Amino acid sequence: LEMILLTSPEAARVFGDAAGSRRNKMPLRVASVGKGTSVVARSLNFDVVFEPSKANAETMASELPEALGPKLLYAASSIAPGTLQEGLEKRGFQVTRYNTYTTRPVEKQSPDALALMETAQIVTFGSPSAVKAWNQATKHRPVAACIGRTSHDAAKALGFERIYSPEKPGIPGWAQVTVEALQDLRQMA
């Protein structure tokens, strides 16, 4: 095992808990999908040695230096698509996927939450699973502000028409497109 792949802050936290005190005895080298994940990984004493130019699986799969392999451990959500693993395997890496956590929607929204959802003018999505959870709860399609392209694509596929997402995924860009969406809504009012 030459490298650990982390694709979310939650994956970093869960993997850090699983590694326990071992991570203090020997530095675990990590390839992180983006800045938010890197912050969490470094706080857990992981040695972050790679971060792609864009925080998504496609870019990570295409940019990960061959010198960091060939054997990789991919700590992932159980619902994460195979994009990263398949992209790396096509490049000759040997990827072992370890599903460290899962994400699932709230099974039943309260009447108050549903009423708010039905009247929302803007909704923010931090993951494709959040878009799917919204879709399961309501057919209302307000303006969507997404953290990145994968959430944007999920929103589009589920019928959202006005979607904002940053060119470069991450919290700062997400905040910026949320502000832009709010400003556009105000101008239209």
Between CA 104 and CA 146 the distance in angstroms is 18
Q: Is the pLDDT of residue 30 over 80?
A: yes
Q: Is the pLDDT of residue 176 over 90?
A: yes
Residue that wins the pLDDT comparison between 20 and 73: 73
Q: Which amino acid, 148?
A: G
Between CA 81 and CA 167 the distance in angstroms is 21
Q: Is the pLDDT of residue 27 over 80?
A: no
Between CA 146 and CA 176 the distance in angstroms is 10
At CB < 8 A and 24+ separation, what contacts does 133-136 make?
133/105, 133/106, 134/158, 135/159, 136/105
- Bridge-based pairing of strands 143-146 and 122-125 is parallel
Q: What pLDDT score does 1 carry?
A: 64
Between CA 107 and CA 20 the distance in angstroms is 32
The DSSP string of 143-183 is EEEESSHHHHHHHHHTT--SEE--SS-SHHHHHHHHHHHHH
Per-residue pLDDT tens digits for 37-47: 999 999 988 99
- When pLDDT is cut at 50, 70 and 90, the band that residue 21 belongs to is low
Q: What pLDDT score does 115 carry?
A: 94
Cis omega (within 30 of 0) on the bond before 27?
no
Please choose, from the candidates 169, 167, 157, 164, the residue with its C-alpha nearest in 3D space to the C-alpha of residue 181. Answer: 164
Considering the entire predicted model, what is its pTM? 0.69
Q: What pLDDT score does 107 carry?
A: 78
Q: Is the pLDDT of residue 23 over 60?
A: no
